[in-house]
């Protein structure tokens, strides 16, 4: 039976200071048990309880399932946010993986700063994930299966039920005469996970009754080993970082190839990204580190992209933001936040920055497409080079002009003749799509 007190303690241990706890609610057995259990003890949570439902549109009844979830949440007095996603056909991965990508991308977009997404993955799910990763040739990172928590979007994802068996959730629902939605896909052995659940794990349990528990213990041991390795990789990554915090190619080149891959993989994980498959990672890291100075290598995969510029590695979102989000020039005197289509611009006091008198007299904020004069574009190109603005960013960051003279590139720096001590630092906060996708 699911113990609600243990559930709350586990949840608070994973996310003690969340702004909100948002249950990923599909209407299936596991998430129904989780939502009802938390609703019963919501007074013990330090933040509001809510739910999120993702409609993949893959089943004719998906709209009805969303309505059923709304009814459940209404009865429980829990707010629900529904999001319909499009699951595109994706080369190199099946429908399960494509749906998971779309679902987690939506989760990342929905989470506000400090929100905690609570998932209902349990001990049996963990065993299935371990076996799937092993059968696919996963390394240490893959065999660690699902972490109890990880960053997601502007918040974090937690799994407080990883030590709870599926039978305990079923018993909890039956004790309260609660129904749940049965997705036919969860019984279709054409899906790898279902095949393991329906055909493989029962055979293992017949021979080893506590097979799931032993697999869970193996995962715990591997996660401990990974945590130990992570400590060493933290040190290596810190050594490899340049002054701006980005990995330096020259430092990575000092390492053996397998060490480079491990450090780059660790950098991705620490940044909240799912690393690419092993072979693609190895080939991509080799190109990024060993390509000549005139090359423009990149490592692109489903979840992100790594590019190289001036001896640094840059981690970018899988889907780049649109270029030239606000081509029209706008006057600004540095007061308050200037809201643009691509983000927000502000000025903050700093030991060194732009002369406040310059801003007080007013400047023009424009993106590169709005710089039409040939002389102004030449000056801007020289400033880009001086400040080290990567080529792929030049269409997306706002510029400050005084007449035809570029004064600053927001987020990168100020033209030499415009600096003052103290001064105002120009801060650019882009409104970019969530780049993190599921590691599980």
Q: Which residues are annotated as a binding site?
A: 26-31
Q: Is the dihedral of CA 268, 273, 277, 281 positive or negative?
A: negative
Q: How far is CA 58 from CA 61, 108, 305, 327, in A?
A: 9, 21, 29, 39
The H or E element that residue 402 is part of is strand 399-402
CB count within 10 Å of CB 369 equals: 12
Cis peptide before 328 (omega within 30 of 0): no
- Pick from 254, 269, 302, 301: nearest CA to 282: 301
- Residue ranges for the known binding site for ATP are 26-31
| Alpha carbons 157 and 146: distance in angstroms, whole number | 11
CB-CB contact of 89 with 98 (8 Å)? yes
User: What are the start-end ranges of the H helices in 291-355?
Assistant: none
How many other CB atoms are found less than 10 A from the CB of residue 406? Answer: 25
Q: Based on DSSP, count helices (H) and strands (E) in the chain, helices before strands.
A: 15, 19
What's the DSSP call for residue 255?
A: S
SS3 category, 114: coil
d(CA 421, CA 190): 66
Please calculate the CA angle 219-223-227 and round it to the nearest 5 degrees.
175
330-332: strand order across its sheet: 330-332, 363-366, 399-402, 405-409, 413-414
247 close to 237: Cβ distance less than 8 angstroms: yes
Calpha distance 410→290 (Å, rounded): 31
Quick count: other Cβ atoms within 10 Å of Cβ 60? 7
Continuous H helices in 241-331: 249-253, 257-270, 278-290
- What does each C-alpha distance from 101 to 56, 104, 269 come to in angstroms? 11, 5, 17
Three-point CA angle 37, 43, 49, nearest 5°: 65
């Amino acid at each position: 039976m699911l113990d609600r007190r243990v559930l709350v303690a586990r949840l608070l241990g994973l996310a003690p200071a969340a702004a909100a706890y948002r249950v990923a609610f599909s209407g299936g057995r596991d998430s129904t048990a989780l939502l009802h259990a938390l609703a019963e003890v919501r007074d013990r949570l330090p933040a509001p309880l809510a739910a999120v439902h993702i409609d993949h549109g893959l089943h004719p009844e998906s709209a009805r399932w969303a309505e059923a979830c709304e009814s459940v949440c209404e009865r429980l007095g829990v707010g629900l946010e529904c999001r319909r996603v499009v699951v595109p056909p994706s080369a190199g991965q099946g429908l399960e993986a494509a749906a998971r990508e779309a679902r987690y991308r939506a989760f990342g977009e929905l989470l506000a700063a400090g929100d905690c997404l609570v998932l209902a993955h349990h001990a049996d799910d963990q065993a299935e994930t371990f076996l799937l990763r092993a059968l696919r040739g996963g390394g240490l990172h893959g065999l660690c299966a699902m972490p109890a928590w990880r960053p997601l979007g502007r918040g974090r994802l937690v799994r407080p039920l990883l030590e709870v068996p599926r039978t305990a959730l079923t018993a909890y629902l039956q004790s309260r005469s609660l129904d749940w939605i049965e997705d036919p896909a969860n019984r279709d052995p054409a899906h790898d996970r279902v095949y393991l659940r329906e055909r493989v794990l029962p055979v293992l349990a017949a021979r080893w009754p506590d097979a799931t528990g032993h697999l869970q213990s193996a995962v715990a041991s591997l996660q401990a080993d990974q945590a130990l390795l992570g400590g060493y990789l933290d040190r290596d990554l810190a050594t490899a970082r340049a002054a701006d915090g980005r990995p330096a190619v020259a430092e990575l080149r000092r390492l053996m190839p397998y060490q480079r891959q491990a450090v780059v993989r660790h950098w991705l994980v620490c940044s909240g990204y799912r690393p690419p498959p092993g072979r693609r990672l190895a080939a991509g890291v080799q190109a990024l580190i060993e390509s000549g100075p005139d090359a423009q290598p990149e490592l692109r995969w489903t979840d992100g992209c790594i590019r190289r510029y001036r001896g640094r590695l840059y981690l970018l979102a899988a889907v780049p933001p649109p270029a030239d989000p606000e081509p029209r020039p706008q006057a600004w005197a540095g007061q308050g936040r200037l809201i643009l289509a691509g983000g927000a611009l502000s000025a903050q006091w700093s030991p060194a920055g732009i002369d406040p008198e310059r801003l007080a007299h007013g400047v023009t904020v424009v993106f590169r497409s709005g710089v039409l004069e040939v002389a102004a574009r030449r000056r801007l190109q020289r400033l880009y080079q001086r400040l080290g603005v990567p080529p792929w960013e030049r269409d997306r960051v706002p510029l400050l002009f005084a007449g035809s003279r570029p004064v600053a590139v927001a987020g990168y720096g100020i033209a030499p003749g415009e600096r003052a001590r103290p001064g105002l630092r120009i801060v650019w906060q882009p409104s970019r799509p969530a780049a993190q996708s599921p590691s599980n």
